[in-house]
Structure 1
Amino acid sequence: MSDGTRTLAEARAWARTGTQLVLDAVADLDEAAFSAGSLLPGWTRKHLAAHVAANADALCNLVHWAATGEETPMYASAEERAAGIAKGPDLTADELRSWLAGSARKLAEGLDELTDGQWESKVVTAQGRTVPAAELPWMRSREACVHAVDFGTGVSFADLPEGFLTALADEISTKRGLTELPGGLLPEVTSWLAGRPHTLADAPELGPWL
């Protein structure tokens, strides 16, 4: 099962890698460090951790949809999504670590249980796109891998799998309508495409992505 640039097995592996990078990124943070700013403007690491954990919970809703046919949106409303992020600062470091680990584990277990036919089931993303459930591991890998960098605890795009970077660069450049990319190492080009800090010279500034 493939979309041309990645297979389901690859996306699932990248999601596992990204999840572990996230868990490692926050493993040793004390309250002060967790409350400090992330690399995302206006977001502390606690906001970011809540976002990543809530994303796993939301994707579990789509796994349930694919498995049962019962329509279960990622989020009941935009307000619910925002509330999940906003509660991050109210949680302790240990509570956030527990939420991150528990939600990721539940998502992985749910994906493990999907049958071949259920992977083809259509679900609707928070952006209103109708996709097969086979898209869910890729959605999770983007969230986990990119936000692992955003925690600002030492993970960089150079630490992400090359295949993931290739697939991500292809997707973002297509969505941004870019036909030519600046020369440079793949991690730096992908970081630039994602609107993150990079070392490329003379690359035009891009707006935020994800």
Structure 2
Amino acid sequence: MARTFDDARRWARIGTELLVKTADLDDGGLNAPSALPGWSRKHLVAHVAANADALCNLVHWAATGEPTPMYASPEERLEGIEKGARLPAADLTGWLRRSAENLTAGMDALDDDQWLAKVVTAQGRTVPATELPWMRSREVCVHAIDLATGVTFADLPDDFLAALCDDVVAKRAKAPGPALNLRAPGVGWDLSGEGEPVELVADLPTLTAYLTGRADGPTTADATPAPTLGAWL
């Protein structure tokens, strides 16, 4: 589906509310493993909080024209996550809330011209500031699931899931992988790749979980397991 700027801002609000609520745990809960290998829930919460601060840098860039990178370096980024993971639960979740509020306030203050300003992401992509709400919505929505507290893709809006699948399929099309025909009620994607296309039919949350590497995926019509996918990001 063709996502809009207003869609992305709405999804960012929904995802932020869901993640903040999901992360409201004590030290015991946050020290438990997340769904991401090697990371506790504290690591994941610190990552999302740091992401909001980093996106605030890009909002500042768009507002002032002053180049302000998301992170000083990859090393600084990782050090910030490790430092955050050592914080007490109350301090860490406080950082998560404050950083999200600051990002929302910064984006709310941008005018039409500032939203069109070009900024550079941590991956080196030059994008208009209008891309920032989508970047944030993807971050908070997917990582709310990665906290592994019971939230699933079924808890997210269908239009977000369809837009996320569009995004993931476009990225996967540029890398080696299997050819897939993916079908959910009302939507579908054809992913070019190696070999004969494998058809997978499932509901939209199941396909989204598979495409983003959060689940093994549905079986084919003849009960063959879905092909294994490489990393998405």
- State the TM-score bracket (shorter-chain normalisation): over 0.9
1:181-200 equivalence runs, <5 A: 181=182, 182-200=200-218
1:188–1:198 contact (8 Å) kept in structure 2: no
Partner of 1:47: 43
2:216–2:226 contact (8 Å) kept in structure 1: no
Residue from 12, 15, 21 that aligns with 1:15? 12
Q: Which has the higher contact order (CA 8 A, sep 6+)?
A: 1
Question: After alignment, is 36-45 or 177-186 more displaced?
Answer: 177-186
Deviation, structure 1 residue 179: 5.8
Partner of 1:64: 60
**Equivalent residue letter for 1:6:** R
Partner of 2:2: 5
Deviation, structure 1 residue 207: 2.4
Distance 2:51 2:156 in 1: 20
Tell whether 2:130 aligns with 1:134: yes
CA RMSD of aligned residues (A): 1.2
1:150-189 equivalence runs, <5 A: 150-177=146-173, 180-181=181-182, 182-189=200-207
Tell whether 2:102 aligns with 1:102: no
Distance 1:129 1:111 in 2: 20
TM-superposition CA deviations, 1:90-123 (whole Å, max 9, x none): 1010011100000000000000011011111000
Tell whether 2:27 aligns with 1:26: no
Deviation, structure 1 residue 89: 2.5
**Equivalent residue letter for 2:181:** E
More strand by share: 2
Gaps of 5+ in 1: none
Q: Which has the larger radius of gyration?
A: 2
Distance 2:149 2:155 in 1: 12
**Equivalent residue letter for 2:229:** L
Q: TM-score, normalised by structure 2?
A: 0.86
Partner of 1:145: 141
TM-superposition CA deviations, 1:33-91 (whole Å, max 9, x none): 11010011100000000000000000000000000000000001111111111113310
Q: TM-score, normalised by structure 1?
A: 0.95
**Equivalent residue letter for 1:187:** P
2:145–2:151 contact (8 Å) kept in structure 1: yes
**Equivalent residue letter for 2:122:** A
Deviation, structure 1 residue 206: 1.4
Tell whether 2:82 aligns with 1:86: yes
Deviation, structure 1 residue 199: 4.8
More helix by share: 1
Aligned residues: 206
Distance 1:58 1:91 in 2: 19
Partner of 1:115: 111
- Identity, % of aligned pairs? 60
Deviation, structure 1 residue 198: 4.9
Q: SS at 1:85's partner residue?
A: helix
Distance 1:196 1:46 in 2: 19
